[in-house]
Structure 1
C-alpha cells in the first residue's frame, strides 16, 4: 500500500502560493494579449503563451493534490467513490454555477453598450447548459478559460472510476468509459494536446512523493528541471510541448519535496495569507477573461489598462469567491451527511 503522510505546513503553503501565482500568470498573460496586442505577434511567434504554460502547471498540481487527497481519505476516513465524487462535484459546482451566472449578467449588460460583441454568438441557453455539464463545447460568452475545466473534469471522472473500481464496478466501468472517451478521444485532440499526461504525472508524483522525499539535492534538481523546461519552451514556442511540460512538472515536484523536508515554518500569518489568496484562484480563473475583455472593449489599453484589469479581476474574484467557492467544503460535508442519513434509513428498513 502506498504510504501517505501529511504534508508539512511549509509544503502546504508552497502549493497555496503556487496556485495563487499560476492564476495570476493566467490573468497577466491574457492581459498582455488584450492591452498590448501581443496575440498573433510576440505570442506565440517569439514566446509561448505564458497563460497556457500556467495551465500546464495547474494540471500537474491538480493531479498531485487530488490523487493525494483520495489516498488520504481511503487510508484515514475509509473514503469510497461516493465521498470522492461528492467532493469533486462540490468543489467544481460551488464555483462554476456562480461564475456562469456572473458571466451571463456581465455579458448581457455590456452587449448593449457595443456593436461588435463577437463572442455573443455563444451566449445561448444551449451553450450555457453544455458548459454547465462540462461537455466539450464552445465557451459560454466570455468564459473562454472554461475549456481547461472541461478537459480536467473528465479526467476526474476517469480517475474516480479507476481508483474505486472495486467499490462499485458497474458505476466505475461507466465512469471509466465516459471519462476515457472524453479524455482521450475528444479533449486530447484539441490544441492543448495531451494535458491528461501532465495530470497523470501529478497523480504518480503524489504516490512516490514519500520515496523521493529523501533526496538532499531536490532543490537543485527542481531548478535544473525548470531551466531545461524554459529552454524547450523558448525554442519551440509551444506552451503544450509534452517534454517541456513534464520537465516543468518535475521542477514543481522537487520544489515541493524541498519545502516538505524543510522543518522551518513560513509562519502562521504568511500561511494564512497564501491560503486566502489561493482560495479564490478557481473563481479568478473562470471570471478574469470577462473582466479583461470588457475593459478592453470599453477602451482600456496599455499598462494602465492592464493594471486596472488585473486589480479589478482580483477584487471581483475575491468577493464572488467569499460567498461561493469558500463554502465548497461545507457543501460537501452537508451532501455527505445527507447521503449517510438516506443510507441509514434504507438499512433500517
Structure 2
C-alpha cells in the first residue's frame, strides 16, 4: 500500500511538473493522458480501501462512534492541511512580491477563500464561487475526499444505530451533496464511484473471495492493463471515467492479493518505503505551488533543470512539513479524543 501511495503521488508531481514546465510534450494530450490524473484515480481507490478497512477494523471495538470516526478523519486531513496551507500562503506571498505580473491567482488569494478551504467548501456544488486557495490547485480533490468521509461515516454509524429522524436526514443531505455530485459527472467525474471501487477491493480481500494462483493473477493484471488502455482510448484520454477506475481497481486488488501471501517482515527497506509514503499527502498538497513559483525563473534556468529542482524541492519541503504535521496525525487524534470523548 505504501508503494502504491508513493507511485500515485509521484505521478501527480511529475505530471504537473511536465505541464507547468512545458517539457516532454509527448507525455501529454493528444498523445498521452495527463499523468497527474492517473495518480489521482489511484489515490481515490486507495482511500476507499483504507477508510473501509480502518473503519471496519475499529467498529468491532465497542464504543467506536461517529464522533470518534470524525476525530480520526479530521486529524488525518488537517494535520497535513494546516502546515500545507501556511506554506502555500507564504510561498504565494513571495511569488507576488517577486513576480507580481505573473501571479494569476489574485482573485483566490484572500482570507475568504482561505477560510472556505479550511471548511472544505472549495468547488462545493452549492457554492460555485468558492475556488481553491492561491496556487493550491490540488485542494479541489481534498474537498471531495472530506465529504466522502463524512457521507460514508454518517451512513455507517448513524444508520446502524437506527436513529433515523429529521436531523439524521438533514445531515445526510448536507454530507451527500458532494459525493453524489461526483458519482458520475462534473470535474473529475466519477471519483466517488472510483472511491467505491476501493471499498469493493476491501470486501473481496476481506471475505477471501479470491482463490487464484500467481499465473492467474499475472494474466488478470495483463487483461486489466489492456482494459484500462482501451478505456483511455475510447474516452479520448480522459482517465476520469468509470471504466478506467474499474480496471485500475481490479489491478490493485490483484497486486494486494499477490502480496498478501507474503509475510510482512520489518526491515530497512520497509522503513524507507514507509518514510516516503509518510509525507505523500503533504507532497500532494504543496508541489503545484512550488512548480508555479519556480517556472518564473525559466528565462535564466532551463525548463528541464527547473523540473528537476521542482521535483527535489517538493519532496524535501514536503518531508520537513510532514514531520511536525502529517506524521503526527495519530498523536493529534489521541489528544482530541482525550478532550472530547
Q: TM-score, normalised by structure 1?
A: 0.87
The equivalent residue for 1:328 is 329
Cα deviation code 1:178-214 (max 9, x no counterpart): 1211222378642211110010111122122132343
* Shift in CA distance, 187/147, structure 1 to aligned 2, threshold 3 Å: farther
The equivalent residue for 2:193 is 197
- Count of residue pairs brought into register by the alignment: 324
- The answer to whether structure 1 residue 249 and structure 2 residue 245 are counterparts is no
The equivalent residue for 1:207 is 203
The equivalent residue for 2:126 is none
- The answer to whether structure 1 residue 82 and structure 2 residue 67 are counterparts is yes
- The answer to whether structure 1 residue 44 and structure 2 residue 40 are counterparts is no
Cα deviation code 1:140-164 (max 9, x no counterpart): 0000000011111111111011111
Return the structure number with greater helix share.
Answer: 1
- The answer to whether structure 1 residue 128 and structure 2 residue 114 are counterparts is yes
SS of the equivalent of 2:205 reads helix
The equivalent residue for 2:20 is 34
Cα distance in 1, alignment partners of residues 29 and 171 from structure 2? 36
Report how far residue 23 of structure 1 moved. Answer: 0.4
Alignment counterpart, residue 163 of structure 1, candidates 151, 156, 168:
156
- The two structures, once aligned, show a CA RMSD in angstroms of 2.0
Which residues of structure 2 form unaligned runs of 5+?
124-129
Which residues of structure 1 form unaligned runs of 5+?
1-14, 341-349
Q: TM-score, normalised by structure 2?
A: 0.89
* Shift in CA distance, 24/42, structure 1 to aligned 2, threshold 3 Å: closer
The equivalent residue for 2:312 is 311
The equivalent residue for 1:339 is 340
- The answer to whether structure 1 residue 69 and structure 2 residue 62 are counterparts is no
* Shift in CA distance, 122/38, structure 1 to aligned 2, threshold 3 Å: farther
The equivalent residue for 1:105 is 90
The equivalent residue for 1:19 is 5
